[in-house]
């Protein structure tokens, strides 16, 4: 309900603010300041904020169920033009620690509004060209949605948002003191074993449904 209210607020504020942001004589957006971005993976949209006010919303494609777009707060790590092919006309990289993820154009415009990517956020080329000009390296990009649609089994060698969330929870509980990087290594395995032992679970260092439940990550 809170997420729905937040989305409704964003849409309302956009309607109020667009007339102030868009130059009616030219049809192009005026320069934006203190830009941030929110991607809603459930609603397939990307909202651009200027000084905390939503000024533009775009429809996007996000990751497939088996390759989800990583939920969390990230920052723009690099910007590139004309990679071509499936990346379209612009690439905006994100600092997700366990892989290469970003916002980019596409040569498959029919995919917009669907779960069709390998984890990146796809935009129409004309839309990502606008976004590219508004943001800088370091711009905050917040991806919202349900991070754990699939409670996949986790063990040494696995990577992804599931691992990142497990590491975060184990850290807050005092079991994990390593880097929260979404990579399931030996330190993570030992932390899982310590947690399992403390909670009378089978001690195997593998995150199963019972571990998710005891960690409070099962909703």
The pTM of this model reads 0.74
Segment holding 48, helix H or strand E: strand 45-50
pLDDT at 83: 82
Residue range 2-144, CATH number = 2.40.440.10
- The per-residue pLDDT for range 98-146, each reduced to its tens digit, is 999 999 999 999 999 999 999 999 999 999 999 999 999 999 999 998 7
Pick the CATH number of 161-215 from 3.30.465.10, 3.40.50.720, 1.10.101.10, 1.10.1740.10: 1.10.101.10
CA-based torsion, 54, 58, 59, 63: positive or negative: negative
The answer to whether residue 146 is catalytic is no
Selecting among 75, 120, 124, 210, the annotated active-site residue is 120
Phi and psi angles of residue 207, each rounded to the nearest 5 degrees, phi first: -85, 115
Domain-by-domain residue ranges, the chain? 2-144, 161-215
Selecting among 75, 104, 146, 210, the annotated active-site residue is 104
Distance, first Cα to last Cα, the chain:
15
Q: Distance between CA atoms of 115 and 215, rounded to whole angstroms?
A: 28
pLDDT at 7: 54
The answer to whether residue 75 is catalytic is no
């Amino acid at each position: 309900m809170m997420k729905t209210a937040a989305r409704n607020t964003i849409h309302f504020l956009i309607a109020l603010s667009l007339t102030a942001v868009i130059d009616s004589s030219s049809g192009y957006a005026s320069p934006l300041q203190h830009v941030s971005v929110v991607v809603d993976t459930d609603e397939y949209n990307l909202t651009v904020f200027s000084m905390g006010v939503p000024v533009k919303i775009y429809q996007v494609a996000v990751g497939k169920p088996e390759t989800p777009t990583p939920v969390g707060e990230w920052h723009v790590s690099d910007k590139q033009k004309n990679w071509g092919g499936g990346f379209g006309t612009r690439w905006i990289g994100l600092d997700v620690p366990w892989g290469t993820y970003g916002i980019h154009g596409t040569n498959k415009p029919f995919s917009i509004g669907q779960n069709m990517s390998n984890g990146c956020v796809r935009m129409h080329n004309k839309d990502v060209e606008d976004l590219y000009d508004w943001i800088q390296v370091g711009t905050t990009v917040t991806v919202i949605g349900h991070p754990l649609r699939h409670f996949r089994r986790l063990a040494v060698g696995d990577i992804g948002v599931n691992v990142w969330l497990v590491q975060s929870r184990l850290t807050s509980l005092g079991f994990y003191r390593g880097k929260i990087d979404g990579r399931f290594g030996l330190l993570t395995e030992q932390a899982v074993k310590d947690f399992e032992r403390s909670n009378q679970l089978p001690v195997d260092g593998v995150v199963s449904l019972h571990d998710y439940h005891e960690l409070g990550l099962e909703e």
